[in-house]
Structure 1
Amino acid sequence: MSSSAWAAAPAPGHDTAPPRISPPRSAEVERALRQNYPRFQYCFVDFLAEQLADMSRSFQGDLQMVVLLATVGQVSLSAAIAAEAGGRSPAELAPERRGMTTNRLADCTGIPRETARRKLIAMEKMGWLTREDNFWYLTTSGEDTVARQALAALDDRALSRTARLYSSLSRLIDPAT
């Protein structure tokens, strides 16, 4: 099922759009991927290996820094989305709502606490992270984060790579796409 069928425009000569067709549920998608496991595995591992290699190059081989930044980023972005949905600025939220402590990051990532602390401080010096009341969160500059600005080329490649993965997997789920 193509994504265009989910939100189809009116057909020429018709006043109304055809009924919306719901996207497949996760159980249906999982079943289709399991039925096409070798192709799924190839697409997924190709994507993952290329993404990990690209991140490794961008972070000079320090994938622990990637994991820490991603973990802090998810908390910060989740808080920003929630704040904006409530008509507030993310900066209005308390630090514990938009960040994580070093101890919690070490626990969540499995990275030793002292190693996590050193890497977090390094990202603070790079301007990517801010620490307030022992909570780490993404540093913003205007409408964006400093880390995203610094990693714009990596982000662009990841978007293209994800689009290719989506396209490949869509064909496994619905061969008509």
Structure 2
Amino acid sequence: MTTQKPGTSALDSRVAGLVEGFGRDYPTYQYAFVNFLVDHLSDLSRSYGGDFQQILILAIIGQRRMNLRRRVDMADLPGPEAMAISASRLADVTGIPRETVRRKLESLRQKGWVVQGPDGGWSLAEDPDGRDLPVRRDHAEFDQRARLRIARLVAMLETFGRAPED
């Protein structure tokens, strides 16, 4: 068991302990992770017709919202413009050419998943009633499969390193 060192967060301490544990039987953990990753990427590929660039762009836009959501009460969540990201910044972050990013954003806009603000930044589109995001609603089945995959991965990882039950 790893104890928390002075000056480190509980998360840092937990990560250090996990890295130590993974080091003892890395091939087992690597197998579980790669199995999860291949299943998840295959599902994404089928869902998006193999367009991983579109997946990546949408994920980055969504992560901006999710990062703020983790830190702010939903009632205080800023408007879409505060969570927006420019096409140029998306191109810089992903390495995808700017014109390709613009085409992918237009495709996502046509699906009703993203909107472009007056300043040119892009954010997730919201339903007028504010109860759901169109992208979340349209990904409900995919998200259900993803939750199951993640739960299987966590359950599998939790069993590694334990003594077999009699």
Could you say which TM-score interval applies, normalised by the shorter chain?
A: 0.7 to 0.9
Larger-Rg structure: 1
TM-score relative to the length of structure 2: 0.83
Q: Which residue of 2 aligns with 1:7?
A: none
Q: Which residue of 1 aligns with 2:5?
A: none
Query: What is the DSSP-based 3-state SS (H/G/I as helix, E as strand, rest coil) of the residue aligned with 1:79?
Result: helix
Tell me, yes or no, if structure 1 residue 153 matches structure 2 residue 141: yes
Q: Distance in 2 between matches of 1:25 and 1:176?
A: 23
Q: Which residue of 2 aligns with 1:9?
A: none
Query: Is contact 1:29–1:173 with CA below 8 Å preserved after alignment?
Result: no
CA shift, 1:175, in A, is 4.6
Q: Which amino acid aligns with 1:90?
A: P
Query: Is contact 2:68–2:77 with CA below 8 Å preserved after alignment?
Result: no
Percent same amino acid at aligned positions? 37
Query: What is the DSSP-based 3-state SS (H/G/I as helix, E as strand, rest coil) of the residue aligned with 1:130?
Result: strand
Query: Is contact 1:101–1:135 with CA below 8 Å preserved after alignment?
Result: yes
In the comparison of the two structures, how many residue pairs are matched? 153
Query: Is contact 1:84–1:90 with CA below 8 Å preserved after alignment?
Result: no
CA shift, 1:42, in A, is 0.6
Query: What is the DSSP-based 3-state SS (H/G/I as helix, E as strand, rest coil) of the residue aligned with 1:90?
Result: coil
Runs (5+) with no aligned partner, structure 2: 2-9
CA RMSD of aligned residues (A): 2.3
CA shift, 1:99, in A, is 1.4
Q: Which residue of 2 aligns with 1:136?
A: 122
Q: Distance in 1 between matches of 2:34 and 2:123?
A: 30
Q: Which residue of 2 aligns with 1:100?
A: 85
Query: What is the DSSP-based 3-state SS (H/G/I as helix, E as strand, rest coil) of the residue aligned with 2:49?
Result: coil
TM-score relative to the length of structure 1: 0.78
Tell me, yes or no, if structure 1 residue 35 matches structure 2 residue 24: yes
Q: Which residue of 2 aligns with 1:8?
A: none
Q: Does 1 or 2 have the higher relative contact order (CA < 8 Å, sep 6+)?
A: 1
Query: Is contact 2:91–2:97 with CA below 8 Å preserved after alignment?
Result: yes
